[in-house]
Homo-oligomer: A and B are copies of this chain.
């Protein structure tokens, strides 16, 4: 669709004014606030055209106009310029990132926190563990006379552990030997590849004790499962209280219900993993409950593999430019961190 420069300018003003104020924008307001050199009347005419073209909507006859989903789409596709972060913002992010980063999970958690704080919206960060870590080896650590701790070490430094019962009469040396044999079998397998099939093979090795075998099977499978599941980090669910769109308690309840459906969130984020940056506006979103929301999502990869996905979810009236530049900055940050992690090996 081709719009005259003047229409484009007016549309942009309306969108940005509405994003900033959350109030419908009227022709006189535009003429007063922005020096376009044209009268309110002509702005009215242009606005009327833009409404016919589907870019604007009127809440009621005598309110100003608000951008339609189509307008936001046009805005992000052909008007927005990435725009760098201010030094202040960048300093804030750097500060928050260095606050406390001990494990990989901490990194994701920090990312979620920063994302929500910077954008004043809900943030979602999904860590795709399955593809990022492989089984390295396992080890039994003695706990007490009847129990060992089974530690499973992944090649990315992730450690999982659980308590297992030692079969009666079994010596610690035998347990260690067992760990070595199982480790050899599973070494290098991605954790989500460890299914019941892989474990059946082990049966012969451990056949001398059915009970131990059963509990090991359960433990390894459970750990495998917990790695298959992507892990989800949420941030800023409190931020939305400040958005005028959510001044109604019921709307908040609705959104929070959606955010509790972890399964759905994962599907949602996974659906957008192909493209680097995905912006879903209003009704474009297939999932009910957030169809008057927009989502901006970015995927980060390492060697072509999807490592994780981050997203910002908020009202369609969202600071698209700001969100994108924050994500961009975080993206670079994370890529650096993950690359460094890998170089260390």
A residues contacting B by CB (< 8 A) are 102-103, 136, 139, 141, 143-147, 149, 151, 153, 155, 157, 159, 161-163, 222, 238, 241, 246-249, 252-253, 256-257, 260, 344-345
Contacts and interface: CB of A to CB of B under 8 A. Distances in A.
B151 A159 contact: yes
A256 B257 CA distance: 17
Contacts of A136: 143
A157 B253 CA distance: 39
Contacts of A161: 159
The DSSP consensus for interface residues of chain A is mixed
A249 B250 CA distance: 10
Given A159-B161, A222-B102, A238-B260, A252 B249 contact: yes
Contact of A247 (B146, B147, B249): B249
Contacts of A256: 238, 241
B153 A141 contact: yes
Contact of A344 (B144, B155, B159, B238): B144
Given A102-B222, A241-B249, A345-B144, A157 B153 contact: no
Given A253-B241, A344-B146, A102 B162 contact: yes
